[in-house]
A and B are shown apart, each in its own frame.
Chain A
Amino acid sequence: MNNLPPQTEAWFRRARQETGPVPPDVTPGVLRRIRDGAASARRTGWTAPLRWWPAAVLAGATAAMAVAGIMAWAAFSQESIYTWAPDLIVWRCL
């Protein structure tokens, strides 16, 4: 079935000739929008928010889980934060 329904063919054929209205010059509007919003986005390279938000959510969730894990370990180990925090810092940094 490569053809349109027969009753619509004539409508499509005639509609194909339609040119549509010519809108007023859009240049000022486009340049204003670019200047107002997109310009800053392009400068910083954050043109597509959808590209970075999954990474941001993942990083946030990982950080939250790490903090929760450390707090849980501290709570269950019955040790004072003043005991294990210096050890952790020494272990990570040295």
Chain B
Amino acid sequence: MQDLLAASMDSPDVTPASADADAGDVRLAQRGDGEALARLIRRHQVAVARQMWRFTRDPRRHAELVQDVFVNAWRSLDGYRGRGPFLHWLRKLAVRTGYAFWRERDRLRPETPWDETLAETVAAGPAEGDAAARAGDVVHALLDRLPARDRVVLVLLHLDGCSVAEAAERLGWSRVMVKVQAWRARRKLETILRTEE
């Protein structure tokens, strides 16, 4: 845990100045200061929006999810003890909010039919001119075939570039569980691709 905290303080998205500003605003927001809360939201909404784009490609739902994260953050603000950067605490909430969104969607939706053109696209690999956004769309459609539990672990490890320890921290799972779940998810992905090819 100490390693994780030390590493988190060194991450490029948290500077000492922003950490100080966050600490002050969090204290004020915990006492009910709406202006301090607004400053926190404005400071971190781009990072949260970037994170939530992994969970949906629908712009309207995306904006709602970003809002959900900050509403959840406000509800849980008293539980933030300042042991790590506020942004990292927020990212943890964002991942859990997105994961809950996927689980709820999995419960309600019928199974996604396999798109033949997607299989061909994946097999062909990205073209030279393909932008990151297009690659994001393809990966999102591919991961859409997996249950929420598998998707979330692959997104954290292979899209957000988290280490196993960071993924475990964000999900509230043990490291062993993250490793096992990731192994299962990758195997499922391979099976899907082999079956559909």
Interface residues in chain A, defined as those with a beta carbon under 8 Å from any beta carbon in chain B: 1-5, 7-8, 10-12, 14-27, 29-31, 33-34, 38, 41-42, 47
Q: A40: shortest Cβ distance to chain B, in Å?
A: 12
Q: B168: shortest Cβ distance to chain A, in Å?
A: 16
Partner of B125, one of A7, A24, A42: A7
* Leading 10 A-B pairs by shortest Cβ distance: A20-B53, A14-B135, A18-B136, A18-B132, A15-B135, A17-B132, A15-B139, A30-B70, A5-B190, A15-B136
The answer to whether A14 touches B126, judged by C-beta atoms less than 8 angstroms apart, is yes
Q: Mostly helix, strand, loop or mixed at chain B's interface?
A: helix
The answer to whether B49 touches A14, judged by C-beta atoms less than 8 angstroms apart, is no
Question: Cβ of A24: which chain B residues have Cβ within 8 Å of it?
Answer: 63
The answer to whether B183 touches A11, judged by C-beta atoms less than 8 angstroms apart, is no
The answer to whether A27 touches B135, judged by C-beta atoms less than 8 angstroms apart, is no
The answer to whether A20 touches B159, judged by C-beta atoms less than 8 angstroms apart, is no
Question: Cβ of A42: which chain B residues have Cβ within 8 Å of it?
Answer: 75
Q: A16: shortest Cβ distance to chain B, in Å?
A: 6
* Sampled A-B contacts (8; CB under 8 Å): A7-B122, A14-B132, A15-B138, A15-B140, A15-B159, A22-B49, A26-B41, A31-B37
Tally of contacts, chain A with chain B, CB under 8 A: 117
The answer to whether B71 touches A18, judged by C-beta atoms less than 8 angstroms apart, is no
Residue of B nearest to A29 (CB): B67
Give complex CA distance A54, B38 in Å.
35
The answer to whether B66 touches A23, judged by C-beta atoms less than 8 angstroms apart, is yes
Residue of B nearest to A5 (CB): B190
Question: Cβ of B1: which chain A residues have Cβ within 8 Å of it?
Answer: none
With A10-B126, A11-B138, A47-B75 known to touch, is A23 a contact of B49 (CB < 8 Å)?
Answer: yes
Give complex CA distance A73, B64 in Å.
56
With A7-B123, A20-B53 known to touch, is A38 a contact of B71 (CB < 8 Å)?
Answer: yes
With A17-B132, A18-B133, A30-B67 known to touch, is A7 a contact of B53 (CB < 8 Å)?
Answer: no
Give complex CA distance A1, B154 in Å.
13
With A20-B136, A26-B41, A38-B75 known to touch, is A8 a contact of B53 (CB < 8 Å)?
Answer: no
In the complex, B80 has a CB within 8 A of chain A: no
Give complex CA distance A67, B193 in Å.
61
In the complex, B186 has a CB within 8 A of chain A: yes
